[in-house]
Amino acid sequence: MAQQPHINYVKEVLKSQYNLGFLGIMILLSIIFANPLGFAALALFGQIGAVLLSQLPGIQRIIQRKYLIDSKLNLKEKEEEIFLSLPPHYQKDFKSVETLCSEIESRWQTTGKTADNIFLSDLITKLGSFRHEYARMLQAHHLTASRDFNTLIEKLKAELAQNQKTFEEERSPKIRAVLEQNIRIIKQRLQKATQLHELLRLLGVRLTVVKNSLKLLQDEVYTASAPEHISEAVDNLLLTLDIDEELRSTYEDVLSSPMAERASEPTSVVSGASNVSTAAQQQRKANSLRRVK
């Protein structure tokens, strides 16, 4: 999760505001002096220079720093969006994680040691990834915990058995074809419900493991003498958030579902939409009564 991202340095330099500004000036000068070929050659040499600049370690460090800052801001915005969509007890769990991460960051930020700063930068990146994934896991658990999968699975099993019995007794080919289609759909629903139920159980266990791991990490924060001493503990903490490949697609489906998108909307927007919908229904009812009269 916290691996160094692949950055195309050539692409980043070419699309930078400085390079785009240079190209804009070349185009403007070629129009003013009516010499497009001459300024096109200058622009080409400028692009070659930009490609060479992108290979310099100093330029690459600047691009990496900018990328990390942008990534951290994006993760923070997503965390805040998910946090606002969660019920109070989930928000409390996430706040405890956020507080611990802040304690870890502030624990060594004042040391001023170069080695500590390097490890601390890596540690902050890992903790940022952890906070984001933990927020997503809390959201997935919240969305799946609101359904009674045991009852749903039993209901689907009974419905499937009834349809299979009817299919076996039916003699009409057309009706059998419809019943066969219905059985196939029920089986798909049963498989999906079973996967969601398994995901819910897995998320519950994973969240419990994370809570206990956080308590252990909190103890180590005050006993460790340097950031690298708790780096392994943070790596283990990240591993507790991994979802098995078998349930990964179901996990992502839950988080990308319309229910998740609606849950991420501010309460005022949701209630406002509900009020508008109610008002529209009342207006349609009034219009219908007037037409009857």
Highest mean pLDDT among 16-25, 54-63, 174-183: 174-183
Contact (CB, 8 A) for 13 and 59: yes
User: Where are the domains positioned within the chain?
Assistant: 1-85, 95-258
Q: What percent of the chain has pLDDT over 90?
A: 14
User: What confidence tens digit (pLDDT) does each residue in 146-167 have?
Assistant: 888 899 999 999 999 999 999 9
User: What confidence tens digit (pLDDT) does each residue in 228-243 have?
Assistant: 667 677 777 777 667 6
| C-alpha 256 chain-centroid distance | 9
Residue type, 106: S
> Radius of gyration over alpha carbons of the chain, in Å?
29
Which residue's entry shows tokens 């999968």?
149
Quote the pLDDT of residue 278. Answer: 45
Three-point CA angle 283, 258, 197, nearest 5°: 125
Q: Is the pLDDT of residue 291 over 70?
A: no
Taking residue 127's Cβ as centre, other Cβ atoms within 10 Å add up to 22
Per-residue pLDDT, averaged over 57-86, amounts to: 73
Contact (CB, 8 A) for 237 and 210: yes
Distance CA(160)–CA(33), nearest Å, equals: 79
Distance CA(155)–CA(197), nearest Å, equals: 14
DSSP track, the chain: --PPPP--HHHHHHTSHHHHHHHHHHHHHHHHTT-HHHHHHHHHHHHHHHHHHTTSHHHHHHHHHHHHHHHHHHHHHHHHHHHHHS-HHHHHHHHHHHHHHHHHHHHHHTS--HHHHHHHHHHHHHHHHHHHHHHHHHHHHHHHHTS-HHHHHHHHHHHHHHHHHHHHH---HHHHHHHHHHHHHHHHHHHHHHHHHHHHHHHHHHHHHHHHHHHHHHHHHHH-SSTHHHHHHHHHHHHTTPPPHHHHHHHHHHHTSHHHHHHTS-HHHHHHHHHHHHHHHHHHHHHHHHHH-
Per-residue pLDDT, averaged over 191-212, amounts to: 87
* Sign of torsion over alpha carbons 27, 33, 37, 39: negative
Q: Is the pLDDT of residue 246 over 50?
A: yes
Quote the pLDDT of residue 29. Answer: 82
Least confident of 93-102, 118-127, 133-142, 204-213: 118-127
